[in-house]
Amino acid sequence: MPKRLSTTVAEALEGGAGSNGQDWLAELVAATQLTPKGRELVHLIERSPRLAAFASASEVAESAGVNAATVVRFAQALGFRGWPHFQLHFRHHYLGSVLPSDVLRDRRRAADPSPVEAALEQDVENLEASLASFDRVAAELVAQLVAKARRTLVLSSGSYSAVGLVFAHLARFMGYDVTLETRGGTDLVAQLGGLGANDCLIAISFWRLNKEVVLATKAARNRGVSTVALTDSIFSPLARAAEHALVVPTESTSFFQSTTAAMSMIYGLLARLHILGGERVRETILTTQELYGELDVLYG
């Protein structure tokens, strides 16, 4: 659980708030003594989820007939650091409830000089948000789990598998037993069947989650496997299914999710695994480099 969230938010999660964007909000509201203006904001969010997902605190305040400070205090009363922090998680659920074509409409920026430039700017925002909310304790715990595990299974699907591919490939380069599973079905069952209490599963999925990834995470956790979710909201069903969660924003300027922040998180974990592996990892890397030469794999 990210340490920067309040006890109220943590209790809403442990109470099993549903995957619907309004469910976890209802849980938080029920556990919070809101002012009359705060209740007006709840009604506005329920009536206009798109506004709540994308508008600034001042824009929301104007629509609700309150001042911007009230909007900020409302988010803080629910256990968040402020409106942007609340909005990050609310937007995750809102976008998960609409079709990709609708997401494209919501994300299009009228003043964008270039789609490429806009994408780069959005990724910079995502990285800044990741750094601001980074949970050092959680990241270290995940690195330690992988370093000590007999075997680690990375589970993902679709374009999100690119994140898992980089992690599995470079971890194996260092000598860690890490495997990526993207096929699902009977192949996934076979992989899960080989995991035990000394193993680790890292599940990677964002936005409209792959249901099989979530169910497999639950199954592995029930069997004593250490489970980690890399996802884009602590309120994600995947985050709740896993024992530990690393959360990064995945906003993009188009119909898909950006995995730039997720990839940076993976690179950081790999750097830590390099250190944790010590001499064993150093020797494995040297051996692997020699094999590149023996097999004449690379130019130069």
With H, G, I as helix, E, B as strand and everything else as coil, classify residue 262. helix
Between 36-47 and 21-30, two packed helices, what is the crossing angle to 10 degrees?
170
pLDDT for the residue numbered 197: 96
pLDDT of residue 106: 56
Structure tokens at 214: 């979530």
Say whether both 168 and 265 belong to one domain: yes
**Entry pTM:** 0.76
Determine, yes or no, domain membership for 288.
Answer: yes
- 260 and 184 fall within a common domain: yes
**Domain match, 148 and 239 both:** yes
Lowest mean pLDDT among 5-19, 111-125, 142-156, 236-250: 5-19
Is 260 part of any domain?
yes
Whether 164 and 251 map to the same domain: the answer is yes
pLDDT at 101: 57
Of the candidates 97, 124, 157, which is a domain's last residue?
97
DSSP one-letter string for 37-103:
HHHHHHHHHHH-HHHHHH--HHHHHHHHTS-HHHHHHHHHHTT-SSHHHHHHHHHHHHHHTS-HHHH
- State whether residue 269 is helix, strand or coil: helix
Q: What is the CATH number of the domain that holds 20?
A: 1.10.10.10
Give a yes or no: residue 259 inside a domain. yes
Which are the contacts of 110, defined by CB distance < 8 A and separation ≥ 6?
Answer: none
Domain count within the chain: 2
Interhelix angle for 21-30 vs 7-14, to 10°?
120
pLDDT tens, 180-236? Answer: 999 999 999 999 999 999 999 999 999 888 999 999 999 999 999 999 999 998 878
Domain-embedded: residue 2: no
Domain of residue 32, residue span: 7-97
pLDDT of 81 reads 83
pLDDT: which is higher, 56 or 164: 164
- CATH code of the domain in which 144 resides: 3.40.50.10490
Q: What is the pLDDT of residue 12?
A: 45
What pLDDT is attached to residue 148?
Answer: 98
Alpha carbons 160 and 256: distance in angstroms, whole number: 10
Co-location of 145 and 288 in the same domain: yes
In a domain, 216, yes or no: yes
Position with higher pLDDT, 91 vs 36: 36
Task: Clarify whether residues 57 and 160 are in a common domain.
Answer: no
Q: Is residue 151 part of a domain?
A: yes
The whole-number average pLDDT for the span 14-28 is 56
Are residue 56 and residue 163 in the same domain, yes or no?
no
pLDDT of residue 281: 96
Residue 67 lies in a domain: yes
- Does residue 160 sit in the same domain as residue 251? yes
